[in-house]
């Protein structure tokens, strides 16, 4: 009645198998006290669910109800007998509070059972003890009696999960995470068979770095401490290498798993500094890295060869030529994420083409590696790319000349969405050439619909003019320029004429050379001047900028009256009685001003960072043209800015190509699989 755990425990006690109690007296007491209560709670919740119509995995069947109801009636009758032999006591305890506050009183209720034989028999029958939380069980029992005596009828389930077509159940598991698919698969054989293609779809293999620094200890001598640290990291490095080798060996032995992997991540969590402490110093022996990681590369190559149906691939490790050939053979590979990767050897010949990849993300965080952006040579192998995201380091911006198009390689001619963060400033002309060439390869028509550029230093008038000229003619939908020095009228005029269908425009200005990231900036002209600039746009729906406003501390001229009255007591006491009179809060007038110049505008953002707005307005119009302005709440504001000005982070990136599809093998309901490791 109350579960398998209680039966196993009761059997162990009957066989004389005692649980270790030394040092666990408190835990054992709470386990003995709370376990019966948990079982009874579940029993009551199951019974109540028939009246509420709530679902559980077992299902609300009439057969189940006919079995549950008599057991509930019998249990309630036994509880009534138990209650007759229980003495109820109530106590009030005061909890300590801060000085000057009234004591907080807590009322507790306890039941003390009489040592009657009938009460003891009931406790044994339901595997309860005298420490069970009877003060909770008895009130719940009264609720169950109320349900039984009511005129309400139990609600039986008409459609069960297993009655649905397999395609719908597959879709349900597709919407849940891997853990959810595992839980559903553990309910029955049918669900287990269906869950096979879902619970194995994600795999993460990495040389992990998770040291236990406390085991090193703390020593007064720095030299002794560092020596212990080196020894520990050396041991930890080889233990994690052995663990990774075991994981790879297991995965390669299970073709049933490798064939179902859709999302695969291969990585190395050890930094060069940690490797040096562990005894693998690249400066002393350049070949040491390749020698040590040769088994790792071999293992990753084998995994990529076997996992041929991968759709999303994330790499944060050394890339070997064999890995590239294995990736080129993946017909279903759609999204490629490269995080701080390097080639095992510099490519001397043309790289294999990854024709199936349509989304690519490169994240480069290294500050001390001059060739960290060399991995961008891989761009020349992605001819069908639709979305490109490159996020460089602010301390070492990446170089566009590494893409290799000057060697005869062609840029992706159908690329639609580009996001470049922390590009070297002297590479902007190269970027313009690359964009123009992509358009030339597509019969002179650019396919760019989304473009984001982020630089540390403000771009001048000539640089912006050259960039817009390279983008001109593209069916641009969303344009984000983060890092402007020039924001004159002709910039808005060039953008409006180059992209007549533009719907979202975000401009972030750098106030001076010290401002490197997006924050509030003082623009050269007042806000109403830039509102008039938007009159040139005929389709613009969103405009975001970092114009400096402070809506929290803008006081009205009424404070001058206080000064004229000599700050009298009467006047001063009334200062904070009416905030609307003292502070200006009607910032909606700014949105109305912009809406008056731009008839299609639907939202206006004043940003304080690249993803947070200090003021965010929604603009709507009725059939008669009357404008209504609302303020976004913080959740809606952040959610919308993630789309209009996204941060560049790979598979969660909202600009992933809409052509991102997965060709899956037909689901087989009767697949058999060996139990997972």
Instruction: Give the Cα separation of 647 and 643 in Å (integer).
Output: 9
Instruction: Tell me the CA end-to-end span of the chain in Å, nearest whole number.
Output: 32
Give the pLDDT of residue 138.
87
Over the stretch 100-116, which tens digit does the pLDDT of each residue have?
A: 667 777 777 777 777 77
Show Cβ contacts of residue 438 under 8 Å, excluding neighbours closer than 6 positions.
411, 412, 413, 415, 446
CA-based nearest residue to 330, from 296, 305, 293:
305
Give the pLDDT of residue 354.
93
Domain extent listing, the chain: 4-87+115-158, 170-199
- Tokens describing residue 117: 């034989």
Q: ∠ CA(365), CA(370), CA(373), 5° rounding?
A: 55
> Does the pLDDT of residue 357 top 90, yes or no?
yes
> Does the pLDDT of residue 24 top 60, yes or no?
no
Over the stretch 256-315, which tens digit does the pLDDT of each residue have?
A: 999 999 999 999 998 888 888 888 776 666 677 778 888 999 999 999 999 989 999 999
- Mean pLDDT (whole number) for 435-448: 90
> In this predicted model, which residue has the larger pLDDT, 565 or 237?
237
> In this predicted model, which residue has the larger pLDDT, 571 or 252?
252
The answer to whether 431 and 392 are in contact (CB under 8 A) is no
Over the stretch 38-79, which tens digit does the pLDDT of each residue have?
A: 888 889 999 999 999 887 777 888 999 999 999 999 999 998
Give the pLDDT of residue 409.
64
Q: Which of 212-221, 370-379, 400-409 has the lowest mean pLDDT?
A: 400-409
Instruction: Give the Cα separation of 323 and 146 in Å (integer).
Output: 67
> Does the pLDDT of residue 11 top 50, yes or no?
no
Over the stretch 146-188, which tens digit does the pLDDT of each residue have?
A: 999 988 899 998 888 888 898 999 998 888 888 888 888 888 8
**DSSP class of 353:** P
Give the pLDDT of residue 19.
45
Give the pLDDT of residue 632.
75
Instruction: Give the Cα separation of 303 and 326 in Å (integer).
Output: 9
> In this predicted model, which residue has the larger pLDDT, 55 or 559?
55
Over the stretch 579-618, which tens digit does the pLDDT of each residue have?
A: 555 566 678 888 999 999 999 999 998 877 766 677 888 8
Residues recorded for the chain:
677
Q: ∠ CA(273), CA(277), CA(279), 5° rounding?
A: 115
Over the stretch 480-530, which tens digit does the pLDDT of each residue have?
A: 999 899 999 999 999 999 999 999 999 999 876 666 677 778 889 999 999
CA-based nearest residue to 137, from 50, 76, 67:
76
Show Cβ contacts of residue 379 under 8 Å, excluding neighbours closer than 6 positions.
360, 385, 388, 403, 404, 411, 412
Place of tokens 């068979």: 193
> Does the pLDDT of residue 640 top 80, yes or no?
no
Whole-number percent of the chain with pLDDT over 90: 36
């Amino acid at each position: 009645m109350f579960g398998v755990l209680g039966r196993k425990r009761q059997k162990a006690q009957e066989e004389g198998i005692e649980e270790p109690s030394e040092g666990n007296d408190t835990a054992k007491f709470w386990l003995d006290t709370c376990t019966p209560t948990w079982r009874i709670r579940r029993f009551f919740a199951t019974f109540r669910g028939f009246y509420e119509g709530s679902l559980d995995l077992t299902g609300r069947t009439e057969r189940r109800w006919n079995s549950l109801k008599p057991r509930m009636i019998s249990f309630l009758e036994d509880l009534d007998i138990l209650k007759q032999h229980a003495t109820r006591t109530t106590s009030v305890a005061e909890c300590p509070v801060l000085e000057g506050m009234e004591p907080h009183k807590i009322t507790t209720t306890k039941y003390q059972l009489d040592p009657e034989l009938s009460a003891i028999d009931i406790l044994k029958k339901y595997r309860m003890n005298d420490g069970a939380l009877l003060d909770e069980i008895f009130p719940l029992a009264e609720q169950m009696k109320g349900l039984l005596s009511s005129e309400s009828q139990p609600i039986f389930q008409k459609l069960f999960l297993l009655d649905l077509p397999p395609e719908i159940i597959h879709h349900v598991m597709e919407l849940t995470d891997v853990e959810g698919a595992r839980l559903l698969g553990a309910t029955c054989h049918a669900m287990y068979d269906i869950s096979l293609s879902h619970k194995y779809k994600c795999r993460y293999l990495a040389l992990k770095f998770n040291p236990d620094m406390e085991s090193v200890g703390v020593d007064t001598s720095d030299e002794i401490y560092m020596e212990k640290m080196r020894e520990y990291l050396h041991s930890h490095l080889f233990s994690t290498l052995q663990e990774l080798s075991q994981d790879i060996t297991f995965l390669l032995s299970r073709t049933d798993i490798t064939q179902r992997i859709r999302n695969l991540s291969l990585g190395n969590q050890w930094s060069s500094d940690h490797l040096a402490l562990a005894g693998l110093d690249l400066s002393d022996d350049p070949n040491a890295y390749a020698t040590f990681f040769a088994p790792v590369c071999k293992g990753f190559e084998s995994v990529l060869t076997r996992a041929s149906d991968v759709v999303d691939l994330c790499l944060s490790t050394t890339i070997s030529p064999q890995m590239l050939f294995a990736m080129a053979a993946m017909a279903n590979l759609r999204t490629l994420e490269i995080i701080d990767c390097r080639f095992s050897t510099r490519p001397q010949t043309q790289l294999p083409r990854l024709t199936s990849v349509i989304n690519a993300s490169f994240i480069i965080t290294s500050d001390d590696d001059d060739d960290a952006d060399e991995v961008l040579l891989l761009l020349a192998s992605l001819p069908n790319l639709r979305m490109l995201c490159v996020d460089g380091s602010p301390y070492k911006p990446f170089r566009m000349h590494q893409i290799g198009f000057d060697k005869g390689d062609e840029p992706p001619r159908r690329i639609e969405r580009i996001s470049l963060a922390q590009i070297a400033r002297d590479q902007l002309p190269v970027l313009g050439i690359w964009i123009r060439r992509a358009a030339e390869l597509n019969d002179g028509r650019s396919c760019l619909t989304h473009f984001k550029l982020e630089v540390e230093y403000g771009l001048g008038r000539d640089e912006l003019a050259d960039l817009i000229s390279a983008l001109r003619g593209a069916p641009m939908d969303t344009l984000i320029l983060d890092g402007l020095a020039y924001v004159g009228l002709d910039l808005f005029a060039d953008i409006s004429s180059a992209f007549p269908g533009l719907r979202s425009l975000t401009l972030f200005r750098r106030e001076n050379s010290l401002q490197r990231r997006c924050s509030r900036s003082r623009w050269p002209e007042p806000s109403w001047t830039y509102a008039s600039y938007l009159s040139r746009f005929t389709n613009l729906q969103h405009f975001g900028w970092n114009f400096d406003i402070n809506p929290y501390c803008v006081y009205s001229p009424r404070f001058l009256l206080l000064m004229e009255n000599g700050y009298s007591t009467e006047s001063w006491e009334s200062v904070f009685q009416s905030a609307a009179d003292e502070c200006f809060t009607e910032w909606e007038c700014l949105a109305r001003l912009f809406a008056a110049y731009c008839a299609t505008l639907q939202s206006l953002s004043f940003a304080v960072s690249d993803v947070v707005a200090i003021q965010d307005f929604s603009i709507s119009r009725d059939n008669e043209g009357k404008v209504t302005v609302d303020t976004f709440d913080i959740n809606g504001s952040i959610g919308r800015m993630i789309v209009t000005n996204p941060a560049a982070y790979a598979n969660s990136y909202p600009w992933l190509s809409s052509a991102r599809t997965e060709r899956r093998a037909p689901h087989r309901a009767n697949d058999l699989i060996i139990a997972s490791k």
